[in-house]
Structure 1
Amino acid sequence: MPSLDEAVAGVLEAVFADESRSAGLALEEVSVSTAGRRRVVRVVVDLAGEEAGEVDLEAVAVVSAAVSETLDSSDVLGAAPYTLEVTSPGVDRPLTAPRHWARARGRLVRVVLAGGGELLGRVESVDADGVLLRLEPQPVKGRPPRAKDVGVPRQVPFAELVRGEVQVEFRRAGASPDDEPGELDDEQGELDDEQGDAGREDEQ
């Protein structure tokens, strides 16, 4: 028997299969929790394609209305009142699906491998088979980073990837030494954090 999270996600599949209702967004995750007598339904959405970009708040509003209408017309949550939160993932969202990796092109990521161990590298390209990383030195506790493998390309098949984690960089990639320190590598980190917290709440 599916869990409540899975049952709600199943009901919402129709919303995200309809381009006119999904507003170009894809369903990432559904979680249902209880707060007193009320349920909290948290729906995480992201861009459906592989191109880098930000989730538009207008698109979130469109899909929120569609999700709310679908839940109201379904008995999946029973008669209990609920609060709906529709939000986009933050920069700390793990990379697990191929489109996550594709949208991370140019970003520095820490990769957890299925056989054990980790890699640190920049995502160069993504194809149907896996991810091409440009390796970066990994710091070793108590010693400076080893630079032996810096810049070496490595193709990692999807079957060997458990997840990736985007690393926050404090200087824009390719920035000159005159650039202000402490600046994120690009504006996406800040925007992701803002949008990750900017979910729309609907009291039902």
Structure 2
Amino acid sequence: MPMPTEERLSQLIAGLVERRGFDLEGVDISTTGKHADAQARLKVIVDSDGPSDLDTIAALSTELSELLDEAGDFGETPYLLEVTTPGVDRPLTADRHWRRARGRKVRVHLREGAQAPEPDGSAKFEARVGELSGDTVALVLGGKHKPHRVRIPVADIAEAVVQVEFAKPGARELELAGGVVPGRPVPGQEDDVPAVDAADVRGSTPLQPESVPASDSPTEGIVE
């Protein structure tokens, strides 16, 4: 049986994800093996304004597993469902991404023709994300030693990617950014929510989940 498309699965699960207070950030399907030995892996990436702890993600994973089993899009092909939050180094492509990235360091690439925020400045630079207001975003330049805030139109930004940090930002730098969004990790002290896997066991040797222990009496088709 052909694998369902990512578009089809996105449409199938989007309503449930939204009702549980999350935004659906992406769906990815990959397969291993051929024919009778084929197995599928479905990765669902979600995010929210509030903190996403392991229990919340695990509960969503269980509900998504039940929904997928009822839909039957995978037929007899065993699959592993992985529900996770975006990685730290993800690009900012929507207003909600900018709001949630407040306090984070980003690598900014301005669109061609856009004015750099500083005289003789480069179109590519690093800054710390501040408040998003209307169609502009505050950025803190100068790092720990000479932090200062500027505002630029979001439309002038061709690409912005959050950077992984291994040291805490300066206190003044973070203050100018408006602090980190409540419930989000402090830069330099990342502790991302681990992915939660739910294994489907139809027609094959069970795929053991990595983060959720198997129960003594699993529901049909799902190891929880």
- TM-based fold match above 0.5: yes
The C-alpha deviation readout for 1:85-116, integer Å capped at 9, x for no partner, is 11112211222221111112122221122328
Return the TM-score normalized by structure 2. 0.66
Task: State the TM-score, normalizing by the size of structure 1.
Answer: 0.72
The corresponding residue for 2:171 is: 174
Q: Larger Rg: 1 or 2? A: 2
Distance 1:134 1:60 in 2: 33
Deviations 1:38-76 (A, max 9, x none): 1000111111x3xxx531111101110111111111133
Are residues 1:32 and 2:29 paired?
A: yes
> Are residues 1:83 and 2:117 paired?
no
Kindly indicate whether the alpha-carbon contact (under 8 Å) linking 1:125 and 1:132 is maintained by their aligned counterparts in 2. Answer: yes
Match of 1:111 among 83, 108, 112: 108
For the 8 Å contact 2:110–2:156, the answer to whether it is kept is: no
Aligned residue for 1:33, secondary structure, equals strand
Q: CA deviation at 1:187?
A: 6.0
Query: CA shift at 1:29, angstroms?
Result: 0.9
Cα offsets for 1:135-162 (capped at 9, x unmatched)? 237xxxxxxxxx7xx6251323246343
* 1:9 maps to amino acid: S
* Shift in Å, 1:167: 4.5
Partner SS for 2:148? coil
Q: Distance in 2 between matches of 1:27 and 1:5?
A: 12
Distance in 2, Cα, partners of 1:191 & 1:11: 30
Matches within 5 A, 1:91-102: 91-102=88-99
Counterpart in the other structure of 1:131: 137
Q: After TM superposition, what 4+ stretches of structure 1 lie above 4 angstroms from structure 2?
A: none
Alignment partner of 1:54 is 2:33? no
For residue 191 of structure 1, give the secondary structure of its aligned residue in structure 2: coil
Amino acid paired to 1:200: V
CA RMSD of aligned residues (A): 2.7
What amino acid does structure 2 have at the position aligned with 1:45? V
Percent identity of equivalent pairs: 34
Query: Are residues 1:202 and 2:202 paired?
Result: no
Cα distance change of structure 1 residues 163 and 108 upon mapping to structure 2, 3 Å threshold: closer
Cα distance change, pair 166–61 in 1 and its aligned pair in 2 (3 A): same
Query: Is 1:121 paired with 2:127?
Result: yes
2:39 paired with 1:42: no
